[in-house]
Amino acid sequence: MTAFGFSRWAALAVALANTAPGQRHGDLLTTTGELAALLRAHDEPEPVDVGTKDLADALTARDAFSGIFEMAGDEAAIAERLNALLASTARPRLVSHAGVPLHLHVDAPGSSWGQWLAASGAMGLALLVAEHGATVLTRCAAQDCRDALLRTGSGPPRRFCSATCASRVRVAAHRQGRRGNPAAE
C-alpha cells in the first residue's frame, strides 16, 4: 500500500520527470492513456479520466520538475523554482468527499490532472527539501541513466536510481580498472 499524502506526491513528481526522453528510453508520456496509466500506477483512485489538456499541462509540469532535478542541490535555485511552481498552481485546502475522511488537496478547484501533478508534486518536493535539505533531489549517478531520484531513507546517500544502474556502473568500473592494469588479470 502506497503511503498517501506528500511522499506519494513526491514519488509522482519523480515518475513524471522520468518519462522525459533520455539515453535509455524515448518519450514515455505522449498519449492520454500513458498519463492515465502513470496516475493509476501511483494509486490515484478512479475515475481517472484524462484528456488532451491534462496531458499538455502534465508535460509543462514535467519540464518544471526535470529542471529542478538538474539543479544538483542548489538550494537557492531549487527554492525559487519550487516557490514559483507553488505560487502558480497550489491552493491547499481541506476537503471531504462522501465516504472519505477530511484530507488535504493541494491544487486549486477545477485543476486539470496536469495542474494537479504540478501543485501536488511541488508541495511533495518542497516538504522533502524542508525535511532533508536540497540535496534530497538528485539524479542517478549512472551517466547513461540520469533518472531523477529522491535521496530519502537512512544509511549512506543513494547515488543510483536502481540496483540495475548500480551494478552496471560497478561492472564497467571493474572492467576499466582491469584494462588500466593488465597485471591484475
Residues lying near Zn ion in the complex (CB under 5 A) are found at 140, 142, 145, 147, 161, 165
What letter would DSSP give residue 155? S
Minimum distance, C-beta of residue 92 to Zn ion, in the bound complex (Å): 33
Min dist CB 165 to Zn ion, Å, is 3
Greatest Cα-to-Cα distance within the chain, rounded to the nearest angstrom: 72
Residue 90 or residue 150: which is nearer to Zn ion going by CB?
Answer: 150
- Helix (H, G, I), strand (E, B), or coil: what is residue 162? coil
Measured from the CB atom, is 39 or 165 closer to Zn ion? Answer: 165
Give DSSP secondary structure letters for 56-121: HHHHHHHHHHHHHHTTTT-HHHHHHHHHHHHHHHEEEEEEEETTEEEEEEEEPTT--HHHHHHHHH
Closest by CA to 82, choosing from 28, 136, 153, is: 136
Which CB sits closer to Zn ion, 116 or 160?
160
Nearer Cβ to Zn ion (14/161): 161
- Please report how close the Cβ of residue 28 comes to Zn ion at its closest, in angstroms: 15
Place of cell 498519449: 31
Q: How far apart are CB 65 and Zn ion at their closest, in Å?
A: 17
Rounded to 10 degrees, the C-alpha dihedral 151/138/66/91 comes to 50
Q: What are phi and psi of 164, to 5 degrees?
A: -60, -50
CB of 143 to Zn ion, least distance (A): 10
Closer residue to Zn ion (CB): 174 or 178? 174
